[in-house]
Amino acid sequence: MKYAAITERLAGLGGAKWEVHARAKSLQAKGAPVIQLTIGEPDVATPPALIAEAKRAMDAGRLGYSNGRGEPALLAALAKRYSKRTGRSIGPDQFCCLPGTQTSLYAVLLTLTGPGDEVLVGDPLYATYEGLIAASGAEAVKVPLRPEHGFRMQAADVAARITPRTRVLFLNTPHNPTGAVLTAHDITALGALAIQHDLWIVSDEVYEELVFAGAHFVSPFDDPALADRTVVTASISKSHAAPGFRSGWCAGPAEFTARLLPVAETMLFGNQPFIADMTALGISAPSEVAQGMATRFARRAALIHAKLHGDNGLRVHRPEAGMFTVLDINATGLSGEAFANRLLDEEHVAVMPGESFGAALAGWVRISLTLDDALIEEACNRIARFAAHCMEKAA
């Protein structure tokens, strides 16, 4: 049988990147004592008040169809939140509610770009971005994010890759997998290029609330000079420890959301009113759980740095936000993939190969910060032992 070209464009861009994670889960299911540091699930439960609100709304019959854009109460709560954040008056017509950041990005890219266009995106990058861009039919043009610049995207690297086909500058701040946070200076320099070349800026801000002490989150959407060309995506998955509810949104100029609406309606025709009620409650006040997560994740990142950095030539990057840290294992002579697979088999520690996040992270691995300190410490002991063993063999 024949299949659509999209299936070929996406082949290899989906589950294959998560193979070590899947293998770790199956080993765990067979009873192996695996320390699972692959994916980024929040380390706390969804706040009971939010679950109570979802239940209340279900009991109150909030189970009918919604509309394509989102429930009015949630749109109003989003408008209030982003008006406060930006200092401008942001209207409910500047949002569309979608099931998570992932779906929002899918709809956003379908609205902004397509075959023949180029999307500039950092490398390393979150594992689904290549698939998102390929699904739209556009081509991903990778902008290297370098450790010596704290993995923050540099305007000069972007400028060198802009062509007449460039349509979108795709940012992710705070960044997964590196935990880099773009500075006001970075945003101004990148924004100037977007203005000069008439580009859209798409800013994935799903980790906005998981910024560590000392770092400062800045969004291009908050800069009035960039607001008419910026689209933000976010959700309650990380900030409210609620990934399973699949509740997210995009924000942008009203003209953009008007264009996006038929795309969203075609995909879903509305999301769930009871989840919208819960989300509206969650985003109307500071998250009960985000600050605690940020504090714990920062502490664990520091712990990993203290345990592994410099040990036998290993280098640990210091994240400024998010749920992960990245470890340079080039000194072992192994690729990130070989390291992650052998570490799982030989020491029962599961980490993600850097290669799953782009060629720039070959020879690195990503470590999740979402387990208890004691388990992280034990994982570091095993990683150090395994790395030393590889280096002895190589010597």
Ligand X SMILES: Cc1ncc(COP(=O)(O)O)c(C=O)c1O
Residues that bind ligand X (CB under 6 A): 40, 100-102, 126, 172, 176, 204, 206, 235, 237, 243, 248
Minimum CB separation of residue 43 from ligand X in Å reads: 14
Minimum CB separation of residue 387 from ligand X in Å reads: 26
Nearer to ligand X, 364 or 386 (CB): 364
SS3 state at 211: strand
Return the bridge partners of 170, or none.
121, 202
Q: How far apart are CA 49 and CA 30, in angstroms?
A: 36
Minimum CB separation of residue 39 from ligand X in Å reads: 7
Q: How far apart are CA 39 and CA 382, in angstroms?
A: 19
Minimum CB separation of residue 230 from ligand X in Å reads: 16
Taken as a whole, the chain contains a residue count of 395
Nearer to ligand X, 18 or 331 (CB): 18
Minimum CB separation of residue 40 from ligand X in Å reads: 5
Q: How far apart are CA 174 and CA 152, in angstroms?
A: 10
Rg (CA), the chain: 21
Nearer to ligand X, 97 or 379 (CB): 97
Minimum CB separation of residue 243 from ligand X in Å reads: 5
Angle at 187 between CA 184 and CA 193, to 5 degrees: 145
Nearer to ligand X, 204 or 222 (CB): 204
Q: How far apart are CA 60 and CA 83, in angstroms?
A: 30
Nearer to ligand X, 111 or 178 (CB): 178
Q: Which backbone phi and psi does 368 adopt, to 5 degrees?
A: -75, 145
Q: Which residue has the tokens 């025709």?
A: 269
Nearer to ligand X, 136 or 176 (CB): 176
Q: How far apart are CA 55 and CA 48, in angstroms?
A: 10
Minimum CB separation of residue 302 from ligand X in Å reads: 21
Minimum CB separation of residue 182 from ligand X in Å reads: 13
Give the CB-nearest residue to ligand X. Answer: 100
Nearer to ligand X, 235 or 370 (CB): 235
Angle at 357 between CA 231 and CA 15, to 5 degrees: 95
**CB half-sphere exposure, 284, CA atoms < 13 A:** 13
Minimum CB separation of residue 145 from ligand X in Å reads: 13
Nearer to ligand X, 243 or 363 (CB): 243
**CB half-sphere exposure, 12, CA atoms < 13 A:** 4
In the chain, the N- to C-terminal Cα span, in Å, equals: 52
Which helix H or strand E contains 26, and what residues bound it? helix 19-29
Of 154, 181, 151, the C-alpha closest to 328 is 151
Nearer to ligand X, 124 or 270 (CB): 124
Q: How far apart are CA 82 and CA 319, in angstroms?
A: 26
Query: Any residues with CB less than 8 A from the CB of 13 and at least 6 apart, and which?
Result: 130, 131, 134
Q: Quick one: three-class SS letters along 254-275?
A: HHHHHHHHHHHHHHCCCCCHHH
